[in-house]
Amino acid sequence: MESHSFIAKIEGHGNLHLDWDKNKVWLEVDEGERLFEAMVVGRPAKDLPWITSRICGVCPIAHNLAALKALEGAFGVKLSGSSLLLRRLLLAAQILQSHTLHLYFLALPDYLGIDSGINLAKTHPEHFKNALKLKQVSDLLAESVGGRGIHPTATAIGGFKKVPSKNQLIGLKKEVERLLEPAEKTAKLFSSLKYPEVKTDLVFLAQTSSIDYDVYDVKHISSSRGALGKISDYKKLITEEIRAYSTAKFGKYSGKIVTVGALSRLNLSGNLLSGKAKELYKSAGVDFQNPYHNNLAQSVEIYAFIQKVIELLNQLTKEGIDEEKTIVFSEDIKPSRKVRGIGALEAPRGGLYYEIGIDAEGLITDCNIITPTVQNLPSMEESAKAVISQQKNVGKDSVEELLEMLIRAYDPCITCSVH
């Protein structure tokens, strides 16, 4: 793998290099720097969520909402009840979109011995049908609440510029209920796959709410080894280092290598799942020492978030949306003094952090973004070392294949990691 070919079927341009003799592995990230933290400086606050959603086309909603949370923190804006429900719905839709794309389109082909997810249409039409249904309805949810499936148009500081009608919500509920079956089949399919065997000692990290399996309304940073951290201390806790071979920084938590994403959320908050999602989790047999099981964790999460979306839609249709409090137009918001805000949420791939400074004129003075994949890069290298040392007997080609599958299992978002 010492060539310039990039790993296929991951988001962005990364290449894993290895030195067999020295048992050394390094993940070269070669995505060009777009400098998002620079491009927003000097621009009005309203531009932040609009511009930074473009960091990533796979998880744009996560960036859009984290940016809005940071701005709302800075301006001291509280969301109405309906706005909060709609935000949670939108982020759940994002996780469904992203997990479906990754599991069926990027990860599954490895396990079925085919190259492209598009070929599933011919080789495994039943799986393909489930994938399309999940994709179609999660895109529809994102479009209905966010205004567009990729790069939202309807979100705004303090709420939304436009909200779905009650009839639309009722229609969505019917559609989402039809996902329960394909979602269950997805969890069972990924439980039935034969994952490569590797034992690692992963330290898990996730933002948690400790009340339920929530990803939007998070309260603290939890680690599988150590005390709860405050989100406001994110910068002290998560440090980033520069490596010559990578345009992405490498992140550590309290100086330690950690793992973020679906497997971490399940490890730290899995006990908060309820109903059928809990059953599927229990019967899935997730091995938390095996990073390949992140795929399995994502499949359980698909079911869990469909359940959550149904709950949210029930609540929204029952209570109705208070449009007066939800719809805001705040293009020219000016705080009249310097303010700062932090916005954090669990994106599909793990904890995402935004910090923003705004001057009295409402212009952005500085911006800091830490993405999930930045936190996962060191863990990917560690797990790759474990694969090499534990699978030495299978031959170089097979190990290289296992390593590509490993990187894919982490579902890295390379363009996010560079931004």
Are the C-beta atoms of residues 118 and 138 closer than 8 Å to each other?
no
Q: Tell which one of 17, 26, 30, 84 touches another protein (CB under 8 A).
A: 30
H-helix segments, 292-371: 294-319, 323-326
CA distances from 399 to 16, 108, 295, 394 (A): 12, 18, 19, 7
- Name which of 38 and 394 has its Cβ closer to another protein: 38
Q: What is the largest CA-CA distance in the chain?
A: 66
The whole-angstrom separation of Cα 249 and Cα 370 is 9
291 binds another protein (CB under 8 A): no
320 binds another protein (CB under 8 A): no
Q: Tell me which stretch binds another protein (CB under 8 A): 31-39, 184-192, 272-280, 310-318.
A: 31-39
Q: Tell me which stretch binds another protein (CB under 8 A): 48-56, 227-235, 262-270, 347-355.
A: 48-56
The whole-angstrom separation of Cα 261 and Cα 267 is 10
Q: Is 140 exposed, middle or buried (0-12, 13-18, 19+ CB in 10 A)?
A: middle
- Name which of 118 and 360 has its Cβ closer to another protein: 118
132 binds another protein (CB under 8 A): yes
- Name which of 161 and 276 has its Cβ closer to another protein: 161
Q: Tell me which stretch binds another protein (CB under 8 A): 157-165, 282-290, 313-321, 380-388.
A: 157-165
CA torsion sign, 131 to 137 to 142 to 143?
A: positive
Are the C-beta atoms of residues 98 and 59 closer than 8 Å to each other?
yes
160 binds another protein (CB under 8 A): yes
151 binds another protein (CB under 8 A): yes
Closest CA to 267 of 194, 195, 206: 206
360 binds another protein (CB under 8 A): no
- Name which of 58 and 286 has its Cβ closer to another protein: 58
Q: Tell which one of 26, 105, 111, 195 touches another protein (CB under 8 A).
A: 105
173 binds another protein (CB under 8 A): no
Q: Tell me which stretch binds another protein (CB under 8 A): 17-25, 139-147, 371-379, 389-397.
A: 139-147
The whole-angstrom separation of Cα 225 and Cα 256 is 10
Q: Tell which one of 68, 101, 297, 300 touches another protein (CB under 8 A).
A: 101
CA-based angle 213:187:405, to the nearest 5?
Answer: 100
DSSP code at position 264: H
- Name which of 32 and 76 has its Cβ closer to another protein: 32
CA distances from 417 to 322, 348, 376 (A): 37, 14, 9
* Annotated binding-site residue? 364: no
Half-sphere exposure of 193 (CA within 13 A, CB side): 26
Q: Tell which one of 50, 111, 195, 288 touches another protein (CB under 8 A).
A: 50
Contacts of 359 (CB under 8 A, 6+ apart): 338, 365
Q: How many CB atoms lie within 10 A of CB 159?
A: 26
112 binds another protein (CB under 8 A): no
Q: Tell me which stretch binds another protein (CB under 8 A): 149-157, 218-226, 256-264, 278-286.
A: 149-157
Q: How many residues bind another protein (CB under 8 A)?
A: 65
Q: Tell me which stretch binds another protein (CB under 8 A): 213-221, 239-247, 252-260, 300-308.
A: 239-247
57 binds another protein (CB under 8 A): yes
H-helix segments, 147-220: 166-177, 180-192
H-helix segments, 156-293: 166-177, 180-192, 234-237, 262-269, 275-284
**Residues found near another protein in the complex (CB under 8 A):** 4-6, 8-9, 11-12, 30-35, 37-39, 41-44, 47, 50-51, 54-58, 60, 101, 105-106, 109, 115-118, 121, 132, 135-136, 139, 146-154, 156, 160-162, 242, 244, 247, 249, 327, 329, 331, 364-365, 415
Residues in binding site: 37, 56, 59, 369, 413, 416, 419
Residues in binding site for Ni(2+): 56, 59, 413
